[in-house]
Structure formats: C-alpha cells, structure tokens
Structure 1
Amino acid sequence: MRGDASKSLLPDGLRDVLPPDAAHEAATVGGLIARFEAEGYQRVEPPLVEFEDSLLDGPGAAVAPSTFRLMDPVSQRMMGVRADMTVQVARIATSRLARQARPVRLCYAGPTLRVRGQQLRPERQVTQAGCELIGSDAAEADAEAIALAANALAAVGLKRLSVDIALPTLAPALFETLGLDAETRAAARSALDRRDAAAVRDLGGEAARVLGALLDASGRAGPALEGLQALGLPSSTAGEIDRLSAVLPRLAEAAPDLSVTVDAVEHRGFEYQTGLSFTLFAKGVRGELGRGGRYAAGAGPDKAGEAATGFSLYLDSVMRGAPAPKPAARCFLPTASALEVGPRLRAAGWITVAGLDAGSDEDPARQARRLGCTHYLDPEDGPGGEPRALG
C-alpha cells in the first residue's frame, strides 16, 4: 500500500485537475479564446519545448531563471520548457509571420512550467491564455489590450474587475535625468520599492522632490494622472505620462465598468516591459488574474525588435473567480437500450452513461445514483421513453 501511494505523489507545485474542475477550466479557456477571436485575434499554438537560444532570446531572458532545461537527444542542443508563452508568440510574429500585415493580432492558450513557484503563486504549472498585438506603438493598442483582457474576463463571469497600470520605465528615466550615481540609484530604487517616503526624503535635493512627488502620484487614475502631469518633467521622461493620458479616456470608453488605478513606481514583475504595463485583479479573488504591457518583440543582441503589447491571464487565479457551472444533466442508460436510445438522447443534448452489464437493467435508478447521474431511462418505457429525474 505504501509503495502504491508513493507513486501517486506529484512534485511540489504540480497537481491533477479532476472532474468537474478540468471541464470547467477547459470551458473557461474556450470562452476567453472566443472573446479574443471576436476582436480579430488569431490563435497560434507554440510548442511546449524549444531550443534554449530562441526561447530565452530578447524578452525571454527575463524568465531564464524560471526555465526548466534539458538536452535534446536528437540534436544534442539544450532546450527549455516554456515558463511564459509571450516570448514564443513574439517569435512566431517576427519570424514565421514576418511578412503579415501589421499590426498582427495573435492569441493563445496552453500550459507553462516554472522551476519554482512564488510566495503568492506556489503553482509551478499554470495554464496561460492571452493576446499579443505586434507592430503598433500607438496608445490605442495599449488601451485595446487592457480593455480586451478585462472584457474577456467579464465574459467568463468574473466581476468587480480592476487594473493597476504601471510605468516601469519612468523611475529609471528620472534617475538618469537627475544624474544620480549608482549608489544613490540603488538607494532610490529600494526606497520606491518599499514605498518609504522618509527614505525618499533622505535622498535630498531635487531627487527627493521629484521622486517624492512620483511616489505620491499613485492611486485612482484621474488624480494620479494629474499628479504626474504636475511634475513638469522634461520631454525626455514625460513620454509615458503622455501615453497614459491618451490611454485612460480610451480605456474608460472601451471598458466602462473597469476600476483603474495607477502605480508610477512599480516595476517588479515587469522585467522585459519597455513601457506602460498593467496587472489585473478581481475583488475577493486571491492573486493577480494576469499581467501585460509593452515590450520589444523579437529583440536581441543585434536587433531592436518590433513595438508590441499584450497580456497573459493565469487560469489558476481566473478559476478562483469564475462562477461554477450548473451540474450537467447526465442520463443513465440500461444495457438493453443504450445502443438504440443513446444516439437520440445525445442528439437532443443529453450526456449519457451506458450500463455495461445486464445487471444494471434491474434497478436503473440505483445505478444512475451510484454513477453520479441526474436522470435514468426505465426499460419499461420502451425505446421512445424519456429520461426520468432521480427523486
């Protein structure tokens, strides 16, 4: 017994998804993809494993510490198991679909695997579903990505959604403009990450004023934008604020029920983002539902990459907020009538469970209850009989 039990154990962070949860997750993924496709996003299916040099190129370098590696016994080259699907879709867009008219809109869904979980997300295998919009640097593209993510989540039943918009490149640009040395930059970054206003004041001079105001300019979108605009930043660092001011009204129109906040100093988790980024939440649901933002698709040591934006939704969190479906009606069919009646009932939308031995015909109601059915067919009703509900 002990040996058999040990064989059923799974590595930390991995789990079996059982009925009816597996069917619920599959239906939710289908609903998300249907919403993506309705707005012109075409589905692609990257492989689970790729050669390491392509999987970890450009933006993929940010997920290198989370990537499982293995040797391909055929080519003798190192391969990686994807930890994130964004970089794969970007590769497809900039290589296989390089000649397709821009912008190209792609969507996807599939499992990802990470070397280790995180404190707030201990799962190591997570199904992702998302979209990438590649070949446009317009503010309209940012608004489309955020609105599509929120509206797709609403379409599968999540409520009270919110998005937190981040500007991860703004603080580093200000460090450069302020002329901070390496030591002061590190202290400033640490203070901003901790939201430590006193430590920001201790920086002194113009850095304390500007970064303190930046720290204060977070919260509800409208006041946060006003606070950022009041900073009077030079054009070299004000670009992201201008983009934010263009995105917010479009987002309000495309997703009017979405609660929007702005965090001008957050950068953790946006390692490969190159501009406006965002995180999605739902009130009462533990963990983030997804992340997205601007990045350079196909970027690498010798290429700048294409302007791109997109998002990934995490099904482990999404399923915590997606309403459970009503139990499906399942009808038990005694052995004697299964072949004759089954096709007719299935054509009418029933799920049928057939008996496999003659003994099941003696008490079909008991067999139906034992097998988790809601209805049963009584042989006495003949081939034209209708399912009876269990009492």
Structure 2
Amino acid sequence: MRNWILPEYVQDILPPEAARIERARRMLLDLFQVHGYELVMPPLVEYVESLLSGTGRDLELQLVKVVDQLSGRLMGVRADITPQAARIDAHLLNRRGVTRLCYAGSVLRALPANLTGTREPLQVGAEIYGHAGPESDVEIQQLMLKSLALLGAKTVHLDLGHVGVFRALAREGGLADALESDLFRALQAKDVPLVEDLTSGLAAPIGRALRLLPELYGGREVLAEARRRLPPLPEIGQALDDLETVADALEPMVGELCFDLAELRGYHYHSGAVFAAYVPGCASAVAQGGRYDEVGSAFGRARPATGFSLDLRQLSPYLPEVQPRTGILAPCLPDPALAKVIESLRAQGEVVVVDLPGHEEFRDELGCDRELKFQDGCWQVLPSRRT
C-alpha cells in the first residue's frame, strides 16, 4: 500500500493554485473589512452537540466525528463555519446591536457535494446578526456579488427563493412532520409527480398551492403570479414583498435574476430568503446563503441573521493566474553586511533566496533572475549569469 495516497475527494493544493487561492482569500477579507465585518476564527473541532445545534440536523450526515481522548465525549470536525459564527455572536460577543462577522477556513465533510467536488472546502463567508429586515438581506447579497466580481466573475446568475412560502403553506395545512419532510424532499428534487401524489389528500387551497410551487420559477412575473394564485396568507405576502425589495436592489448587479419558490435548500436551517449565485461554465452554485433567524436561539439568544459563503477551492479554476515573482539569489555566507542587505531587500518586498551549499546544479528551480554579488566594496544586486 502506498502511504502517500490521500483519501478520496481530498487533495493537496500545489504552489500555483495555492497562490491564486491565497490571494483571493486576502482580497475577500480586505473587502469584508472595509464593509465593517470583523474576522473570527472558530475552532476546527467542537463537541457534536454544539456543531449541530440550531441546524435542524441538516449537517449531521456531513459531520465527521471523532472521540475526544480527554473527555471521552464525541467531537465533530466542522462541516460549516456559519453555526460557529452564530454561536460566537449569541454566546460570546453578546452584543445588543447589529454585528457583522466574517471568516475563512477549511471545513471537512463526509461526502463531496458532487463527483468533481472536494470533501475539504475552503469556506469564506460573511454574516450579519441583529437585523431582521430586507435591508440586511440586500447588504449581504450585494457583498456576495462584489466578492464574485472581485474574483473575476463578469456575469452572475442569481436565484432567489424564500422558505417562508412553503412553511406558511405547511403550517396552514396542518401537515404532519413526516408528510412535510417528504414534500420538502420532493420539491427539492423537482419531482412533480411525487408532489402531486403527496398532496392528493390535502384540502384544495393548500394542496393546489403546494403543487403550484415547482411552476413558480422565472423572472419578475413569478412574484405577480404567486400573489395571484397562492393563498393570501400574511407570511406569504411578506415573503414576496421581501423578495421584491431584494430584487430591486440587486437587479443592476447581476446578469440574470430568477425566482424559485420551490427552492428549499437548507429548509430546516434557513428561515427566510435564500439565494444562490452561478457563473458561466460551472454547473453548481459558486456562492450561496440565506436568512437563518432561528440558529442563535440554540445558544441561548435568538438573533435575526443572514449570511453567505463560498468555497475558494471550487472557484480556483476561475481565479486569475498569479504570476510567480522572480527572486534574488544570495550566497550562504556568515557575513553581517550580507545579512543586513538581505533583510533590507526583504523588507522592501523582494524575494531573496539563500543558496544553500551542495545544490548548485538545481539553482534553476529557485526562480531567481538576479544575484547578490560583492562588487566595488559592497553587496549589489546584479543580473544572474544564467538568464
């Protein structure tokens, strides 16, 4: 057995790709900072109960579990940083006003999202806590679109949905938990015959409305049709109003804006508007998020919240190349004057590589096009004789 083989869907990131990803990470965190988002760094592992609190168990199948050798309790390797950020806001920061947090770190999932995905996404995201109106939904989605533009996305297709529509219908119809779960899965799969079968025994207004949801996909006309054909429940009216407000603000920033009222991604996790961004050439969403007002209550303090995240590993093929920086080759000598020159050059941002002895034949691998030479009584940077 070759001990250098990695587990399936787990990959190394080599220098050229690592440079693209790291530059993108720094750019995004700088963008978040100037918008008032504070960086947090949650731990890689926590007790399972903490990682799953407030998520409606949606993450349980993705959680990789280990036994803590100190306490004997079951720990999990985080599969999503968002619940951790919610815990920090609700339990540690404990602020009364609006809090903006951001993060960047690896997560581990039991299974990849698709056959070309990874089990170790590099998740970067931003969250707003303490504001319940559509204004914070607009802000977080504008930040997502600015992030994608910063990373080079020229055209973005944005899908908008709202889990409040389905929740209102399920509550009004008095759906049993099992039926609600089955309908949720059928709607997510866009399995129209199964939706029709599951709703066949429901009263006409609710059953007809649930069967209509898969058809409510498209442009602005979807909102008008939903107002006309769905039951006039206050929760549904508010959901459609919120979607319209968000759409008005975001439409100038996207290439195409669509509404999908059967989109229930993260249904047990999210509580309001949900969204997903797509770019040409990529079949799956490159950034996604939504409102999750109920997560914080699991940590002792309910706080309205909305946020988004993206995976820099997924975006890596679309990131602009980073041109490798050429360096200066310095001799390996115990010379204080040489050491001072090397540190001065590095302080100016120059790459200086010390030529360790015994590897002269491999100097071309170091990427240096200049050399430090002692000439005219001082150390000088001169063109390399090998270029």
Q: TM-score range by the shorter chain?
A: 0.7 to 0.9
1:20 maps to what in 2? 16
Structure 2: give runs of 5+ residues left out of the alignment.
Answer: none
What's the CA shift for 1:380?
7.7
> Which residue among 130, 133, 139 is the counterpart of 2:134?
139
Q: CA deviation at 1:51?
A: 1.8
Residue number among 57, 79, 103 corresponding to 1:108 in the alignment: 103
Partners of 1:298 and 1:306 within 8 A in 2: yes
Partner of 2:143: 148
Query: What code does the residue aligned with 2:214 have?
Result: L
Who is 1:349 aligned against?
349
Deviation at 1:151, TM superposition (A): 0.5
Consecutive unaligned residues in structure 1, runs of 5 or more = 361-365
Q: Which amino acid aligns with 1:152?
A: S
- d(CA) in 1 for partners of 2:246 and 2:328? 52
Is 1:48 equivalent to 2:47 in the alignment?
Answer: no
Matching of residues 302-317 of structure 1 within 5 Å: 305-317=302-314
Q: Give the paired residue count.
A: 376
Amino acid at match of 2:354: A
One-letter amino acid of the counterpart of residue 242, structure 2: R
Equivalent of residue 333 in structure 1, options 330, 339, 342? 330
Moved more, 195-204 or 34-43: 195-204
Q: Which residue of 2 aligns with 1:223?
A: 221
Q: Give the secondary-structure state (helix, strand or coil) at the position aligned to 1:153.
A: helix
Preserved CA contact (<8 Å) 1:197 1:215 = yes
Aligned counterparts of 1:206 and 1:133: Cα–Cα separation in 2:
36
Distance in 2 of aligned mates of 1:134 and 1:111: 22
- In the TM superposition, residue 15 of structure 1 has moved relative to its aligned partner by 1.6
CA drift at 1:32? 0.9
Is 1:274 matched with 2:271?
Answer: yes
Amino acid in structure 1 at the alignment position of 2:286 = L
Q: 1:330 to 1:224 in 2, by over 3 A?
A: farther
Deviates more, 1:85-94 or 1:107-116: 107-116
Conservation of the 8 A alpha-carbon contact between 1:162 and 1:280: yes
Match of 1:11 among 4, 7, 14: 7
Pair 1:373-2:371 in alignment: no
Q: Aligned pair 1:294/2:291, yes or no? A: yes
Q: Which amino acid aligns with 1:375?
A: D
| Residue in structure 1 matched with residue 245 of structure 2 by the alignment | 246
Instruction: Tell whether the 8 Å contact from 2:209 to 2:230 is kept in structure 1 after alignment.
Output: no
* Cα shift at 1:211: 3.8
Rate the CA distance shift 1:294–1:333 in 2: closer, same or farther, 3 A: same
Question: CA separation in 1, counterparts of 2:7 and 2:74?
Answer: 23
TM-score by length of 2: 0.85
Report the alpha carbon displacement of residue 268 of structure 1 after superposing the two structures with TM: 3.4
Q: What is the identity, as a one-letter code, of the residue corresponding to 1:351?
A: V
Q: How far apart are 1:162 and its partner, in Å?
A: 2.4
1:87 is displaced (CA, Å) by 0.5
In the alignment, which residue of structure 2 is the partner of 1:363? none
1:134 Cα deviation from its structure 2 partner: 0.8
CA pair 181-355 structure 1, distance change in 2 beyond 3 A? closer
Q: What is the percentage of aligned positions where both structures have the same residue?
A: 30
